[in-house]
């Protein structure tokens, strides 16, 4: 396969994943689930980020995540939701990229770290915006919620990675899962 063919495939994968992430974001807006925690969502669009980490370069996943955050923020959110999403997404992606390098850590563990750091990033952004350190008392609840949603997204990601094929090879042929 030529370099041009590989580049076209990468662009196609990135576009497809960005489109799927936007669909997931839209579905999450359409079906609001009251989880008892203000602003809390399952984060099903993060499934795309987790799956993308296993067959794209981190920079490509960053572009997909940024596109999703900006587009969904402008289409379904507000200026403040965009700030919180960017903070959470950046912290989450950085944590997952680092955790993915840990030998023996499964996709569920990587996703769980992403969920925890997503909430931590949003909490830090909220503290900086509101300028009130008392918001940190919300941390333990967000830690628990990030862990739970991270595990759920990780389980779903693992199921997707078991069936997805990239360039003719099953991802499970490697020891990623």
96 touches 49 (CB < 8 A): yes
pLDDT for the residue numbered 9: 84
Number of domains in the chain: 1
Region 84-110: mean pLDDT is 95
Q: How confident is the model at residue 173 (pLDDT cuts 50, 70, 90)?
A: very low
Region 160-171: mean pLDDT is 70
The span from the CA of 17 to the CA of 8, in Å, is 14
Q: How confident is the model at residue 92 (pLDDT cuts 50, 70, 90)?
A: very high
69 touches 85 (CB < 8 A): yes
Predicted confidence (pLDDT) per residue in 131-147, tens digit: 999 999 999 999 999 99
Predicted confidence (pLDDT) per residue in 37-90, tens digit: 766 778 899 999 999 999 889 999 999 999 999 998 888 888 888 999 999 999
Q: Which domain holds residue 110?
A: 3-173
Structure tokens at 25: 């974001």
Rounded alpha-carbon distances, angstroms, from residue 63 to 7, 160, 172, 175: 15, 21, 25, 25
| CATH code, domain carrying 131 | 1.10.1760.20
pLDDT for the residue numbered 10: 85
């Amino acid at each position: 396969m030529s370099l041009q063919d590989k580049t076209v495939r990468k662009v196609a994968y990135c576009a497809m994943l960005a489109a799927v992430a936007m669909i997931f974001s839209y579905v999450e807006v359409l079906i609001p689930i009251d989880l008892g925690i203000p602003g809390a969502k399952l984060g099903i669009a993060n499934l795309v980020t987790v799956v993308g980490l296993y067959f794209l370069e981190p920079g490509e996943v960053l572009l997909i995540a940024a596109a999703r955050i900006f587009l969904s923020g402008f289409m379904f959110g507000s200026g403040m939701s965009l700030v919180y999403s960017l903070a959470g997404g950046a912290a989450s992606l950085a944590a997952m990229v680092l955790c993915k390098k840990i030998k023996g850590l499964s996709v569920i563990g990587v996703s769980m770290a992403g969920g925890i750091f997503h909430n931590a990033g949003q909490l830090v952004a909220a503290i900086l915006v509101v300028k009130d350190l008392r918001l940190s008392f919300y941390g333990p609840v967000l830690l628990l919620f990030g862990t739970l949603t991270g595990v759920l997204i990780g389980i779903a990601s693992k199921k997707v990675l078991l069936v997805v094929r990239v360039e003719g090879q099953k991802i499970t042929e490697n020891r990623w899962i």
